[in-house]
Amino acid sequence: MTAIAFIGLGNMGGPMAANLLKAGHQVNVFDLSQEALSVLAQQGATACQSAQQCVTNADVVVTMLPAGKHVEFCYLSQKGIIHTMKPGALAIDSSTIDKATAVKVATALKEKGIEFVDAPVSGGVAGAAAGTLSFMVGGSEQEFGRARPVLEAMGKNIFHAGGHGAGQVAKVCNNMLLSILMAGTAEALQLGINNDLDPKVLSEIMLKSSGRNWTLELYNPCPGVQENVPSSNDYQGGFMVDLMAKDLGLAMDCALQSQSTTPMGALSRNLFSLHANQGNGTLDFSSIFKMYEKEGK
Ligand code: NAD
């Protein structure tokens, strides 16, 4: 049993903290939302009234916050947890943020004798609830080894991507590719539909041909082709367009900083931002399919 502090009990953090409790850890929790706090308290966590209080006795701190500015504020501000964490403790940040902030937080914590890994996740809210998330971890071998047993209570695949920030880079590379595959699959299916092909038949053909990819196999964007996917449920549930647009913004920052050429990623970022700006931000990202729709088809 490890004394764990968990900060950020939203769609992802709530079920992740619940899985740590189920694994028998002692978990202190904090969120700005009292409602989120009481849900976890009902499951056996100790609700705290500040982030600083939450981490005081923790051997491991897990944060699951919206974006880089929240992570920096939570760790490094005047009321940040850096001032009350125990020397020798380990911090695990599972938020999806920019590499620079992850490295900044890691460096500041190191000066206080506190270890850090960035450990963003893939698998969404369903994976968080089922405890089957994939973690992409950035940190030293020693830090990775220490984080691993804690992460195993919340996920299935735990990857060591490299040093601090490497987890965040792996995450944005994966999501940039996913967005390109989804937009390309939607485009190909609509081209077939506009030429009188049945999208079910076309999907079957492409699945057995060289266009096969994860979105066709498990997440077809055309309504009615597959059951139990967001496209067959009015694009509800799944992974929101707003979150994909956020991750693509991070991918573009990453490309800029490393002077990488990412023309497909840039196009994909623009497509998903436009789609979000047209009022589709809370739909699943496979709804990009609708952007290619031709009237009367
Ligand atoms: P969310 O908005 O549902 O939850 C964030 C929580 O953080 C909220 O409960 C909010 O009150 C809390 N919070 C914000 N600032 C705080 C502070 N200073 N102190 C304490 N609590 C604070 O977001 P989410 O969907 O749980 O996503 C969390 C992170 O995981 C994001 O970085 C997101 O990109 C990433 N992610 C999300 C998904 C997904 O499908 N939702 C999938 C993979 C990765």
- Whole-number Å distance, alpha carbon 202 to ligand 1 midpoint, is 38
169-292 is a CATH 1.10.1040.10 domain: yes
What is the number of the ligand 1 atom nearest to the C-alpha of 67?
A: 32
Residues belonging to the active site: 171
Residue nearest to atom 40 of ligand 1 (CA): 124
- Whole-number Å distance, alpha carbon 95 to ligand 1 midpoint, is 7
- Ligand 1 within 6 A of CB of 70: yes
What is the predicted ipTM? Answer: 0.99
**Per residue in 13-65, pLDDT tens?**
999 999 999 999 999 999 999 999 999 999 999 999 999 999 999 999 999 99
3-163 is a CATH 3.30.230.70 domain: no
pLDDT of the residue at 295: 84
User: Which among 85, 109, 92 has a CA at the least distance from the CA of 154?
Assistant: 92
Instruction: Determine what percent of the chain is predicted with pLDDT higher than 90.
Output: 96
- Whole-number Å distance, alpha carbon 94 to ligand 1 midpoint, is 9
Q: How many CB atoms within 10 Å of residue 209?
A: 8
Measured CA angle at 259 (ends 255, 261), to 5 deg: 65
Q: When comparing pLDDT for 206 and 1, which is higher?
A: 206
pLDDT of the residue at 237: 87
What is the number of the ligand 1 atom nearest to the C-alpha of 65?
A: 7
Model confidence at 112: pLDDT above 90: yes
Q: Are 257 and 100 spatial neighbours (Cβ–Cβ below 8 Å)?
A: yes
pLDDT of the residue at 239: 92
Residue nearest to atom 42 of ligand 1 (CA): 124
**Per residue in 64-88, pLDDT tens?**
999 999 999 999 999 999 999 999 9
- Whole-number Å distance, alpha carbon 70 to ligand 1 midpoint, is 9
For the chain, domain boundaries? 3-163, 169-292
Model confidence at 107: pLDDT above 90: yes
Tally the C-alpha atoms within 13 A of residue 234's C-alpha that lie toward its C-beta.
2
- Ligand 1 within 6 A of CB of 136: no
What is the number of the ligand 1 atom nearest to the C-alpha of 74?
A: 18
Model confidence at 271: pLDDT above 90: yes
**Per residue in 253-265, pLDDT tens?**
999 999 999 999 9
Model confidence at 297: pLDDT above 80: no
